[in-house]
Structure 1
Amino acid sequence: MSDHSLEADMDNPEGSPPHLLTLEDLPDIIILSICNFLDAHVINMLMQMSMRFNHLLSGDHYWRMRIGHRWPKLYPAIPVDPFDWQQACVEREHAHKVWTNVDDCLEHFTYNAGLFASVDAVHLMQDGQLLATGSRDRYLSLLNLQKYDVNKPTSKGDMKIYSNCKIHKGWIWSIKSLDNVLATASWDTYIRRLDLNADLTMIDNFKCKSAVLDIHIEPNGIIAAGYDSRLYLVDPREGAVTSMKIHKRPVLCLSVDDHFIVSGSEDKTISVFDRTAGKVMKTVELESFPMCLHCMDNQLWIGDKGGKLNLCDTTGGVFHLVDTYEVGHLGKVTGIVSTRGALYTCSTDRTVKILEPTRNPDTINTLTSHTGDVAGISYQNRVLASAGSDVCVGIWRPKPTDVLTL
């Protein structure tokens, strides 16, 4: 018997099962190297299966290094503490994978049945299953996206569950929702609240003194941007509408939280109204007037008339203008949505862009399915919708096979 065979027999005495090498037998550095080739959501599942993997991969260090290695630009665009680096990594990798492989990962279709004019507003709700649209033919439509099967083109007609041209007498310019209440605002100067549980029966309506260009809805009120340079504050409990003038020109866009009302105007300023103090805390001046706003994670993103993105640091309520970026839009930036996975923008240049959510963001993809201006976008639960002047709505949603386990 050779010395090698003797050693093997001593390591594996007769009757004992042979030892099978598993991932848990590998050194930490090898496991981390293997993880670099796995999708982030796969690693997330591994962590739930093994205490060792969970201990090795939990915490911020690995996930920050992973993001920094793949995307070296500053992320988040404004530092946030605390910050869930693991979840952020899952979101970034998924967004990058999906939007660089649109045909493989997403179903894309357009909807134009019963539309006869430019679509100005889109709003996704109920986890991206319902889509409300407002168009210049004054129609408010409600679509159930779950009823459309891309393999059955005739099922597109099944999506429409509501359509009415008598809700407003002017263009419907903004649509928002909260729970089962849908709020609409129009050039006819009215804001209306509709009950999603009762076939969009009107709950109440409120008249302003000018066209309403944007709205924010919250449990005890509505805040509206007026063409007459005023902010309107609606209290449905009292049926009261009050206003305040803090801009010199029409107010075009809003971003609101519990502390601040941030408004953008044609006077080329962003106004920060402190809700507790009841006064304007700061005014930020821009080179080109703002068209759209979105605030998240200490960062306020502003899309402007010149096609640029502006970034403000909102940490501690400072609202400091950090920088302005060229991202490739050739027209006005008409819509912006910020997520931890990507920035979504749209423009009168007929495109929708998906950008990295970093300082000086790079483009992941540019969608060119519209043949007219894109007036707005909505994003929820990995579903993207766009409003087009080409009399249609664009929709991108995950294919059934694109299942992400978080």
Structure 2
Amino acid sequence: MASTREADNDSDGETSENPERQAMDYMSRVLRTVTLQDKGSRPPRTLPMEAQDGIPHGSLDLKKSPVSGEDGVVTSLLLLLPLELILHVLSYLDARFILSVLPLVCRTLRDIVSEKVTWKVRVQKRVSSSFPVVEQENFDWPSACIELEEQLSHWSDNRKTEHFSLAEGHYASIDAVLLLQGGSLCVSGSRDRNVCLWDLRNLGNDQEKVIVKALGTEKNGTHKGWAWSLAACENRVCSGSWDSTMKIWDIGADGQLVQDIKGRAAILCLAYQPDILVAGSYDKRVSVFDPRASSPLIKSRKIHSSPVLSLAADERHIISGSEDRTLVVFDRRVNAVSQRIQLDNYLFCMSYEAHQLWAGDNQGLIHVYGNHGGTFQHLRCFDVGHTSQVTGIWHSAGALYTTSTDKTMKIHIPTDPPTTLGTQAHSSVVNGVSAAGRTVAAASCGQTVEIWRFLE
């Protein structure tokens, strides 16, 4: 095993350049504010999708009653109605209620709820654009519909959303934020070199009891350089820093340090899977570690010609975006690069879920890639209204959040094109976003963690 690991690693040694000088050079080059003078003249690039012809077709006939009684006896007057009218009646009920309660009422309602067409019709009545952007064969329509409806409800009525600005944890710009345990905990990384753990369970009840603690035992900070990137797997959180280290914390043990891994250069992005930890670094490398091993480094390859800015991973692929304007897909099964896609701009952030890769670039645009049988294909390019680079993106089946150096966070429905529900303006640059459960968190250059919580 040792010889295999050594053979995988490039051997040009550790970088000797001053990390602080690297960080300042990075800030002036990558994170400078860019105005989009040419956005208006550049049409979004798209690939053709199948046309949708109004109400989608399924195995149920919308014009016929789904039941006429068993043994010739009608059991419910409601079920005598055509399915189209039954769906209209159901549209006044909460989607979660429909999914959890109606299947228990009778077999007919259970069949209606289990039909994909039921949820397609429901979604189509609520959004005017195509949804979803990338439809998979096993797309979870009920869950997507629930998320979409809650997104529409919470952000269209300010009375359903609480906003908190947490300013007690850091004294410098916050560059990374990550929600854990369904939104009850939050982790933030800052240029003050600290990684802070926030307990949000009392948020909204007694804000003075929102406990915050800096991770680690060092007096001068969690790291010796800017705490720049965060990733989590179950109860383990990894923080990456400009001091070239990665530290793994056990959140289940009140943030106790589990492992300290030394890298070759500044750690700019991370991806955490159950079996591996992946790091993208300033020295153009993508490195793979096994945190469970005594010698954690598995391989480290210089697959880019500029710093690695964004990462995503699953059980088969590692996807990396770099300042060299390439997107590289590494196939873990064959231990080799399977795709190298040249881009017009570089990707600064990624969100990867259910074979969809959503990414924000340095020109304020959002790109969507679909994973089809292991091959990633560029499907869409959207202008969602940001006027400079997208610093953070979070995507799920029914929700989309983006942050930018234009000092805004935008809330969208992930339709084609995205339906923007609102913009949260801020006094400082917004550096990243995370969502979990009923909570959304954003990292601010103004030394605050911004929290939005949906009321039940």
Query: What TM-score range do you get, normalising by the shorter chain?
Result: 0.7 to 0.9
**1:279 alignment counterpart:** 336
2:260 partner amino acid: N
CA positional deviation for 1:178: 2.1
**2:359 alignment counterpart:** 302
Q: 2:229 aligns with which of 174, 186, 195?
A: 174
Q: 1:112 aligns with which of 149, 167, 170?
A: 167
2:447 partner amino acid: V
2:205 matched to 1:147?
Answer: no
CA positional deviation for 1:208: 1.2
Higher relative contact order (CA 8 A, sep 6+): 2
Counterpart of 2:318 in 1: which secondary structure? Answer: strand
Counterpart of 1:127 in 2: which secondary structure? Answer: helix
Higher strand share: 1
**1:293 alignment counterpart:** 350
Q: Deviations over 1:148-187 (max 9, x none)?
A: 335x4xx335421445553201000112222332211000
Q: 2:192 aligns with which of 137, 140, 144?
A: 137
**1:189 alignment counterpart:** 244
2:171 partner amino acid: F
Task: Name the CA distance, whole Å, in 2 between partners of 1:96 and 1:323.
Answer: 23
Counterpart of 1:329 in 2: which secondary structure? Answer: coil
Counterpart of 2:402 in 1: which secondary structure? Answer: strand
Task: Name the CA distance, whole Å, in 2 between partners of 1:37 and 1:158.
Answer: 37
Q: How does 1:39-54 map to 2 (within 5 A)?
A: 39-44=94-99, 45-54=101-110
Task: Name the CA distance, whole Å, in 1 between partners of 2:271 and 2:122.
Answer: 37
**2:387 alignment counterpart:** 330
Q: CA 1:55 to 1:204, structure 2 compared with 1: closer, same or farther past 3 Å? A: closer
Aligned residues: 375
**1:160 alignment counterpart:** 212
CA positional deviation for 1:74: 2.5
Task: Name the CA distance, whole Å, in 2 between partners of 1:82 and 1:396.
Answer: 31
Q: CA 1:23 to 1:136, structure 2 compared with 1: closer, same or farther past 3 Å? A: farther
Contact 1:78–1:297 under 8 Å retained in 2: no
Counterpart of 1:277 in 2: which secondary structure? Answer: coil
Contact 1:172–1:187 under 8 Å retained in 2: yes
Contact 2:214–2:222 under 8 Å retained in 1: no
Counterpart of 1:319 in 2: which secondary structure? Answer: strand
Task: Name the CA distance, whole Å, in 1 between partners of 2:407 and 2:77.
Answer: 50
TM-score, normalisation: structure 1: 0.87
CA positional deviation for 1:104: 1.6
**1:230 alignment counterpart:** 285
Stretches of structure 1 that go unaligned for 5 or more consecutive residues are 1-20
1:209 partner amino acid: R
Query: Bigger CA drift: 234-243 or 313-322?
Result: 234-243
2:400 matched to 1:348?
Answer: no
CA positional deviation for 1:328: 0.1
Query: Bigger CA drift: 29-38 or 72-81?
Result: 29-38
1:156 partner amino acid: E
Stretches of structure 2 that go unaligned for 5 or more consecutive residues are 1-74
Q: Return the index of the structure with the highest Cα Rg.
A: 1
1:321 partner amino acid: H
2:256 partner amino acid: T
Task: Name the CA distance, whole Å, in 2 between partners of 1:360 and 1:25.
Answer: 37
2:107 matched to 1:55?
Answer: no
**2:318 alignment counterpart:** 261
2:242 partner amino acid: W
Contact 2:116–2:141 under 8 Å retained in 1: yes
Q: 1:382 aligns with which of 430, 438, 442?
A: 438
Q: Deviations over 1:293-319 (max 9, x none)?
A: 112233211100000001112111221
**1:244 alignment counterpart:** 301
Contact 2:391–2:432 under 8 Å retained in 1: yes
Contact 1:111–1:156 under 8 Å retained in 2: no
2:144 partner amino acid: A
Counterpart of 2:387 in 1: which secondary structure? Answer: coil
Q: How does 1:385-404 map to 2 (within 5 A)?
A: 385-399=441-455, 402=456
**Identity of aligned pairs, percent?**
35
Q: Deviations over 1:31-57 (max 9, x none)?
A: 333123333223333333333322333
**2:126 alignment counterpart:** 70
Task: Name the CA distance, whole Å, in 2 between partners of 1:105 and 1:200.
Answer: 32
Q: CA 1:113 to 1:65, structure 2 compared with 1: closer, same or farther past 3 Å? A: same
1:205 partner amino acid: D
**1:13 alignment counterpart:** none
2:183 partner amino acid: G
Q: CA 1:90 to 1:198, structure 2 compared with 1: closer, same or farther past 3 Å? A: closer
Query: Bigger CA drift: 41-50 or 75-84?
Result: 41-50
Counterpart of 2:93 in 1: which secondary structure? Answer: coil
TM-score, normalisation: structure 2: 0.78
2:241 partner amino acid: S
Contact 1:99–1:365 under 8 Å retained in 2: yes
Contact 1:249–1:267 under 8 Å retained in 2: yes
Q: 1:211 aligns with which of 254, 266, 284?
A: 266
Task: Name the CA distance, whole Å, in 1 between partners of 2:188 and 2:113.
Answer: 44
Counterpart of 2:373 in 1: which secondary structure? Answer: helix
Task: Name the CA distance, whole Å, in 2 between partners of 1:179 and 1:268.
Answer: 32
**2:373 alignment counterpart:** 316
Task: Name the CA distance, whole Å, in 1 between partners of 2:227 and 2:390.
Answer: 19
Counterpart of 1:262 in 2: which secondary structure? Answer: strand
Task: Name the CA distance, whole Å, in 1 between partners of 2:225 and 2:209.
Answer: 26
1:374 partner amino acid: V
Task: Name the CA distance, whole Å, in 2 between partners of 1:25 and 1:260.
Answer: 48
Contact 1:298–1:314 under 8 Å retained in 2: yes
Task: Name the CA distance, whole Å, in 1 between partners of 2:141 and 2:275.
Answer: 34
Q: CA 1:271 to 1:53, structure 2 compared with 1: closer, same or farther past 3 Å? A: same
Counterpart of 1:134 in 2: which secondary structure? Answer: strand
